């Protein structure tokens, strides 16, 4: 091997990353017909969900009722960039009932289950090499622009999502709004978000390189992102773009002057990808883990071993049920603690014996 054939560390790192790809998971929630599938199609730059099809095959459908959780895997491979192994989590059936509180609860249950599975994995001595981390790194919530701000359902689900995900609010079908209507809707939705104390993802709290070009206030003016999607493509100036044709002209999905689609895509797949992943494991999951352990770590009350059943701050214990609490892991933890207490008692006995011997020695030395 000659010196010229040895790759630089940076090159090796890049090649390794390229081979492995970056895992990224997005949860997409929104009422029926708001443009989710069309948006996903543009986001992935390929037909992921065929047009006029409600959804693709329910792979790994985990909840069987009006609201289902479906997962789609897509490899995003683009020239000169690390491939993204993208997992999309969809919730078809959301918002279609009169009482949608159950739908929100089901999404919450699914998200908490993903946290619990990670927590359970962390507890293991022998980790599962093929464990798939299902925690979404971003949750896109599609809002219908009604010129009245958020609806009760939007508030309810956004509140719950924001506790468990990096929530990014999105206004769907942006092309159907005039610029004045968009400004009004953005203002109303944003003030409802603030008034209801919904914690959306904080774009200002990161080092993404955006500061250098003073584009941070882009996010302030663009929240919620107003996006459009389409299945129709057209060749314009040598490149294929997604379009929506109107009598007044052609609306181009990828055109930054027409809507925020490209900005949002860049945020998800570029500028904020790592930050969204870090924030998920360092902030969101950590908060959940602490709350969960604080309540499930065995406590001794009157000499009795007790294990609390539901995590504080993550309400609704009725929908909360995991193996961690009910099954093997709880018992394992209990046994470990009993073992620890026995050892502690033994240590106390030895310490007392040593103390006694020391005292005897001291007395003997005085007498002698
Ligand atoms: N004007 C406009 N129409 C859109 C846009 N995106 C989708 N549509 C249309 O809205 C209808 C529903 O679009 P979908 O993308 O299937 O919406 P969806 O949210 O996936 O719908 P469900 O899967 O049924 O919940 C279709 O007729 C689309 O052509 C958009 O950005 N602007
Ligand atoms: Mg759809």
Q: What is the pLDDT of residues 235-290, one digit of tens each?
A: 998 899 999 999 999 999 999 999 999 999 999 999 899 999 999 999 999 999 99
187 and 236 in a single domain? The answer is yes
By mean pLDDT, which of 137-151, 225-239, 329-343 is the weakest? 329-343
Average of per-residue pLDDT across 155-173? 97
* Structural domain ending residue among the three candidates 287, 320, 342: 287
Q: Domain for residue 293, yes or no?
A: no
Is 225 a residue whose pLDDT tops 80? Answer: yes
175 lines ligand 1 (CB under 6 A): yes
> Residue ranges of the alpha helices (H) in the chain?
9-20, 36-44, 101-123, 152-164, 179-195, 216-222, 261-266, 273-278, 285-296, 323-326, 328-367
Task: Specify whether 125 is located in the same domain as 233.
Answer: yes
Confidence label for 313 from pLDDT (cuts 50, 70 and 90): very low
Residue 331 has pLDDT above 70, yes or no: no
Residues 253 and 319 in one domain: no
**113 Cβ neighbours under 8 A, 6+ residues apart:** 322
In the reported structure, the alpha carbon of residue 147 is separated from the centroid of ligand 1 by a whole-number distance in angstroms of: 19
Is 69 found in the same domain as 158? yes
Closest CA to 263 of 23, 42, 78, 81: 42
**CB within 8 A of 56, min separation 6: which ones?**
48, 49, 50, 70, 72
Taking the C-alpha atoms of residue 63 and residue 195, their distance in angstroms, rounded to an integer, is 32
Specify the ligand 1 atom closest to the Cα of 231: 29
Place of tokens 């969204």: 276
What pLDDT digit, counting tens, does each position of 10-51 carry?
777 766 766 678 999 999 999 999 999 999 999 999 999 988
For residue 144, being part of any structural domain is answered with yes
- Which residue's C-alpha comes closest to atom 2 of ligand 1? 173
262 located within any domain: yes
Take atom 13 of ligand 1 and give the residue whose Cα is closest.
35
Q: Which of 229, 253, 259, 264 most suits a substitution to test ligand 1, by most atoms within 8 Å of the C-beta?
A: 229
Q: Is the CB of 228 under 6 A from ligand 1?
A: yes
Ligand 1 in contact with 37 (CB < 6 A)? yes
For residue 305, pLDDT beyond 90:
no
Q: Is the CB of 95 under 6 A from ligand 1?
A: no
Name the token pair of 368.
Answer: 């002698």
Q: Which of 6-20, 151-165, 311-325 has the lowest mean pLDDT?
A: 311-325
Share above pLDDT 90 across residues of the chain, in percent, rounded to a whole number: 55
Order of strands, sheet of 233-236, starting from the edge strand that comes earlier in the sequence: 233-236, 239-246, 249-252
Give yes or no for residue 176 CB within 6 A of ligand 1. Answer: yes
Whether 292 has a pLDDT exceeding 70, the answer reads yes
More confident site: 143 or 298: 143
For residue 246, give the CATH number of its domain.
3.40.50.300
What confidence score (pLDDT) does residue 309 get? 47
Is residue 49 in a domain? yes
Residue range of the domain that includes 331:
307-367
- Nearest-angstrom CA–CA distance, 358 and 139: 64
* Between residues 367 and 101, the one the model is more confident about: 101
Q: Quote the ligand 1 centre to 51 CA distance (angstroms).
A: 9
Distance 107 CA to ligand 2 centre (A): 17
Residue 260 confidence (pLDDT): 95
Whether 193 and 330 map to the same domain: the answer is no
Q: With a cut of 70, say whether residue 105 has pLDDT above it.
A: yes
212 and 328 co-located in one domain: no
173 ligand 1 Cβ < 6 A: yes
In total, how many domains does the chain have? 2
Report cis status (omega within 30 of 0) of the bond before 138: no
Greater confidence, 317 or 152? 152
Which phi and psi (to 5°) does residue 213 adopt?
-105, 20
Examine the pLDDT at 358 and tell me if it is beyond 70.
yes
pLDDT tens figures, 167-190: 999 999 999 999 999 999 999 999
Give the bridge partners for 305, in sequence order. 300
User: Is residue 99 within 8 Å of 123, Cβ to Cβ?
Assistant: no
Q: What share of the chain is helix, strand, coil (3-state, %, to 5)?
A: 50, 15, 35
Q: What is the mean pLDDT of the chain?
A: 82
Nearest CA to ligand 1 atom 6: 35
3-state secondary structure of 304: strand
């Amino acid at each position: 091997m000659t010196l010229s054939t040895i790759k630089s560390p940076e090159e090796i790192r890049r090649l390794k990353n390229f081979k492995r790809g970056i895992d990224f998971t997005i949860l997409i929630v929104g009422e029926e017909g708001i443009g989710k599938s069309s948006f996903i199609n543009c986001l992935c730059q390929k037909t992921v969900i065929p047009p006029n099809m409600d959804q693709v095959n329910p792979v790994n459908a985990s909840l069987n009722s009006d609201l289902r959780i479906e997962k789609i895997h897509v490899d995003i491979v683009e020239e000169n960039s690390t491939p993204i192994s993208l997992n999309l989590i969809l919730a078809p059936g959301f918002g279609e009932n009169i009482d949608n509180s159950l739908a929100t609860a089901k999404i919450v249950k699914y998200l908490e289950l993903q946290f619990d599975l990670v927590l359970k994995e962390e507890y293991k001595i022998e980790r599962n090499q093929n464990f798939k981390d299902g925690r979404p790194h971003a949750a896109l919530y599609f809002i219908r622009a009604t010129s009245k701000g958020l609806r009760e359902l939007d508030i309810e689900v956004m509140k719950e999502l924001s506790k468990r995900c990096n929530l990014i609010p999105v206004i769907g079908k942006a092309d159907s709004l005039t610029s004045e209507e968009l400004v009004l809707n953005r203002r109303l939705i944003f003030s409802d978000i603030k008034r209801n104390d919904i914690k959306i993802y904080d774009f200002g709290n990161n080092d993404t390189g955006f500061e250098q070009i003073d584009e941070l206030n882009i996010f302030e003016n663009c929240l919620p992102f107003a996006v459009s999607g389409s299945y129709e493509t057209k060749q314009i100036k040598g490149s294929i773009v997604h379009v929506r044709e109107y009598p007044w002209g052609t609306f181009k999905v990828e055109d930054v002057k027409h809507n925020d689609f490209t900005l949002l895509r860049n945020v998800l797949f570029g500028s904020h990808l790592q930050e969204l992943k870090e924030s998920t494991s360092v902030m969101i999951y950590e908060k959940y883990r602490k709350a969960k352990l604080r309540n499930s770590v065995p406590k001794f009350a009157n000499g009795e071993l007790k294990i609390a059943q539901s995590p504080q701050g993550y309400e609704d214990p009725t929908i909360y049920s995991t193996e961690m609490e009910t099954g093997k892991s709880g018992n394992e933890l209990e046994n470990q603690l009993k073992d620890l207490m026995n050892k502690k008692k033994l240590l106390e006995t030895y310490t007392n014996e040593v103390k006694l011997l020391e005292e005897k020695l001291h007395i003997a030395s005085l007498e002698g």
